[in-house]
Amino acid sequence: MSSESVRTWRRSFLKRTAAGVAAATVAAPAIAQQSPKIQWRLAASWPKSLDTLFGGADLVAKRVGEITDGNFTIRTFAAGEIVPALQVLDAVGAGTVELGHTALYYYFGKDPGFALMCAVCFGPNTRQSNAWWYEGGGEKASEPLCTEYGIKAILAGSTGCQMGGWYRKEIKSLADMKGMKMRIGGMAGLVLAKLGVVPQLIGGPDIYPALEKGTIDSAEWVGPYDDEKLGFNKIAKFYYYPGYWEGGPMLHTLVNLKKWNELPKHYQAALSTACGEANTWMPAKYDVVNVEALRRLVAGGTQLRPFPRVVMEAAEKAAYELYDELKGKSKHWARMYPDWLKFRNDQFLWFRVAEQTYDNYAFNSKLGMKAK
C-alpha cells in the first residue's frame, strides 16, 4: 500500500470512528428521554390496615417501579391521607393526584354508569366481570363516561362475591328491613331503599364508629377477612350472605387522562401490566384468607345466616325496576346497560351448563370432605 493510500485509509477510518462516537453520544440522551424519571402519587379509597385492598394499590406501584428500573415511581396514600375515601375520582380528574385506586360504584351519584363499571345487584361474578371488561366490550363502552370525567380506568382488582353484611337483629322477613339504617356501597342503596331500608354510603374507615354509636343499624363491607379486621363482629353478631349486590365487583386504577396521554408508551404498558397482575392477585388472596377468617368468626360467636328467599326475590324485582328507571335519567346508562344485560344473560346461560352443574355437585359432595 502506497503512502497516499495509507493516508486515505486513515482519514476514512477516523471519519467512521468519529461518526460512531457522535452516534453514541446522541443515543444515550435519546434513551434517557424515552425513560424519563417520573414520580406520581396514588390516592386509594382504602385504609392501610386492609392489606388486600390497599395491597392491590401497593402491588401496582411496586411492579411499575420494577418494570421501569425505578424510573417511574408511584407513592401510595391511604384514604384520608390526601383526600377522603369517596373523593378519589374527583382528585384524579382534577389532577390533584395522578392516580387513584377505588370502586367506581361509589360515584353512581355523578352517573349511574359508574356502577356498571364496578357492581350492581344481581350482576356477573368475578370471571364474568373480567370477561365483560376485557373481551365483551366493557372497557370500550366505559370510555366515553371516563373521558367526560377526565380519567382513564384500568381494571386492577376484585374481591370475589361478597358477604351480605352485619346485623344487630335477624332478618326473617321484608318487614325486618323497613326503617333499617344500613351502610351499603354503590347503587345497591337505591334498590334496598325500595324495600324500606335507609341506605348510608360511608367510607371504610368510618363504618365501625357509625355502627358502634348506633348511627347505623347494619353494615356491609367485603367479606370475612376484611370485616374481621374492621371489627364488625364485636358489635353485630348476625352475618348474612350472599352480597347479591356485589357478585364480582371490579376495582380500578384511575389515571388522570391528560397525564396518561403524556406517558411514554412503555410506561403505559408497565402500568397496564401491573394493574393486570393486581387483578389476578387480589381475588386469589381473598379466596385464601377468607377461609380461616370465617372459621375464626364463627368460633367467636358470629351467627351465619342466608338471606330469606323472599328478601332476595323482592330485591331482584326492585333492581330491575330501578334499571329501567335509569334509562331515562342517564345517557351513559341508557347506552351501556342493554349490551351489559345481554352479555350478563349470555354468561349466565353458559355458566349453568358446566360451571354451575360442577359446582353444585362438587361443593355438596360429602365424599370429598371425607377423603384422606
For 252-263, the pLDDT digits (tens) are 999 999 999 999
Residue 294 has pLDDT above 50, yes or no: yes
Residue 242 included in any domain = no
Question: Residue 277 contacts by C-beta under 8 Å, 6 or more apart in sequence?
Answer: 59, 60, 63
The whole-number pLDDT of residue 5 equals 53
Cβ-based neighbour number of residue 290 at 10 Å = 21
* Number of domains present in the structure of the chain: 1
Strand 38-44 and strand 99-102: the pairing is parallel
Average pLDDT over residues 240-255: 98
The whole-number pLDDT of residue 89 equals 98
Residue 270 included in any domain = yes
The whole-number pLDDT of residue 227 equals 97
Q: Which residue has the cell 348476625?
A: 238
pLDDT class for 12, splitting at 50, 70, 90?
A: low
Secondary structure class of 220 (helix, strand, coil): coil
Question: Residue 33 contacts by C-beta under 8 Å, 6 or more apart in sequence?
Answer: none
The whole-number pLDDT of residue 19 equals 46
Q: In CATH, what number is assigned to the domain containing residue 101?
A: 3.40.190.170
Residue 22 has pLDDT above 80, yes or no: no
Q: Which three three-digit cell numbers place residue 92?
A: 384524579
Q: 138-148 and 331-353 are packed helices; what angle lies between their axes, rounded to 10 degrees? A: 160
pLDDT class for 370, splitting at 50, 70, 90?
A: confident
Residue 84 included in any domain = yes
Name all contacts of 123-127 with Cβ < 8 Å and 24+ positions apart: 123/246, 123/247, 123/248, 123/344, 124/247, 124/248, 124/344, 124/347, 124/348, 125/160, 125/161, 125/247, 125/248, 125/351, 126/158, 126/160, 126/161, 126/247, 126/248, 126/283, 127/248
Average pLDDT over residues 229-251: 97
Instruction: Please provide residue 183's backbone torsions phi and psi, each rounded to the nearest 5 degrees.
Output: -75, 120
Residue 144 included in any domain = yes
Closest by Cα among 249, 258, 252 to 274: 252
Question: What is the percentage of the chain residues whose pLDDT exceeds 70?
Answer: 91
The whole-number pLDDT of residue 34 equals 80
Gap between the Cα atoms of 343 and 46, Å rounded: 30
The whole-number pLDDT of residue 24 equals 44
pLDDT in tens, 69-119: 999 999 999 999 999 999 999 999 999 999 999 999 999 999 999 999 999
Question: What is the percentage of the chain residues whose pLDDT exceeds 90?
Answer: 87
Q: Which is it for the CA torsion 199, 225, 58, 276, positive or negative?
A: negative
pTM value is 0.90
Residue 147 has pLDDT above 70, yes or no: yes
**Cβ proximity of 219 and 182 under 8 Å:** yes
The whole-number pLDDT of residue 320 equals 98
Domain hosting residue 80, numbered range: 38-161+248-287
| Average pLDDT of every residue of the chain | 93
Gap between the Cα atoms of 249 and 123, Å rounded: 9
Residue 9 has pLDDT above 50, yes or no: no
Strand 72-77 and strand 218-219: the pairing is unpaired
Residue 273 has pLDDT above 80, yes or no: yes
Residue 302 included in any domain = no
Residue 90 included in any domain = yes
Residue 124 included in any domain = yes
Residue 224 included in any domain = no
**Cβ proximity of 163 and 219 under 8 Å:** no
The whole-number pLDDT of residue 33 equals 62
**Cβ proximity of 186 and 194 under 8 Å:** no
Residue 369 has pLDDT above 70, yes or no: yes
pLDDT class for 26, splitting at 50, 70, 90?
A: very low
Residue 256's Cα: distance from chain center in Å? Answer: 17
The whole-number pLDDT of residue 6 equals 44
The whole-number pLDDT of residue 25 equals 42
For the stretch 102-136, what's the b/e string if a residue is b when 16 or more beta carbons lie within 10 angstroms of its beta carbon? bbbbbbbebbbbbbbbbbbbbbbbbebbbbbbeeb
Residue 57 has pLDDT above 90, yes or no: yes
pLDDT in tens, 302-356: 999 999 999 999 999 999 999 999 999 999 999 999 999 999 999 999 999 999 9
Average pLDDT over residues 179-203: 95
